[in-house]
Structures are given as C-alpha cells and as structure tokens.
Amino acid sequence: MVGDLTLEQTLRDHAFTRGLAEAHIARLAPLATEIAFADGEVILVEGRRSQYFYLLLTGSVAVELHTPTFTVSVQALGPGEVFGWSALLDHQDTLFQVRARERTTALRVAGSDLAELCQSDTGLGSQILLRTLQVVAGRVKATEAKFAEMCGVRSPRQHQEQNVSRFQRSTYFT
C-alpha cells in the first residue's frame, strides 16, 4: 500500500507506467516495494553493479557525475520520473551517482526480476524497452547540456532565447 493507494493504482498513475495494460500492471505490482530515502542519501553509487530500478513518487533526486575530485549534478528528477535503468542490463555498472535532494519516496523493483518479466512477457517487455530508451535519451541530452554549459558553449535553446531577447530589446528601444 502506498499511502491510501494500492501498488496497482500507484503504477497506473505513475508517468512511466501510465497506459500499460491492466494485465501488465497486475504483473508488475508484486515486484514493487515502496522505499524512502533521507535528504542527502546516496541511492546509487557510480561504478557499482546496478540492482534496482526506481520509480519516483515524492521528493527529488540529483543524477550526478561523481569523481574523486568533483561532483556535478547532471539532472534533477522528481515525481513521475525513473532512475536505475542500468539494473535492467546484465552485468552493467551504474553510470551515474544518484542522491536524494530531500526526503524522497519511490517504488523499487529488482532489475533482474523486471528483466525476467520483460523476457517472459514480450508485450510488456517492448513497452518497458521503449520507455526506458526515452529515459536514456533524456539522460544523454541532460549530460550533453551540462557538458556544454561547463565548456561555456551555448545550447541551441540558449542561443534562440538570446536572439529573442535581442529582438525584444530592439523592439522596445527603437
């Protein structure tokens, strides 16, 4: 039970699993357990073997690039988002550190159990694969944007915003 909601209802409402068939929700629910993290708690450690896939319910986490000399926040995630996708792959270490930014709750699913379910139910497997690929693509985009920011390169969006700002100034002052 997640608050007053059942695990099934929580999965139906979560952005990552919203729209899945009822049969898929029913098969996912027994794999999920609710877990809470304290502010500042490191949930995933970069370079360690991934074991769990997380669906955020409340609070937020920071996806961080962590080295012995510095830590850079690549992306902030909130309710409805997921992390820990590398747990779905055999023998894949975690690529980023993930830290709770505040008290946070999530559903936790063992990656090996979810991968096994996806292999036995190919309809569900294809849905999880497509949704996970969108997550990975978002993480790559966020990493690229952070890298560009660190190098002092403007993203196309920032460049467009600057041009709009120039246009607005020239319109107001001419």
For the entire predicted model, the pTM comes to 0.81
In this predicted model, what pLDDT tens digit does every residue of 72-88 receive, in sequence order?
888 999 999 999 999 99
3-state secondary structure at position 59: coil
Give the residue extent of every domain in the chain: 7-172
Return the CATH number of 7-172, one of 2.40.50.140, 3.40.190.10, 3.10.20.30, 2.60.120.10. 2.60.120.10
Are 77 and 40 in contact by the 8 Å Cβ rule? The answer is no
Residues in the chain: 174
Contacts of 146 (CB under 8 A, 6+ apart): 65, 72, 73, 74, 75
Q: What per-residue confidence (pLDDT) applies to 61?
A: 97
Q: What per-residue confidence (pLDDT) applies to 173?
A: 43
C-alpha distances out from residue 148 to 72, 107, 164, Å: 13, 33, 21
Model confidence at 155: pLDDT above 70 = no
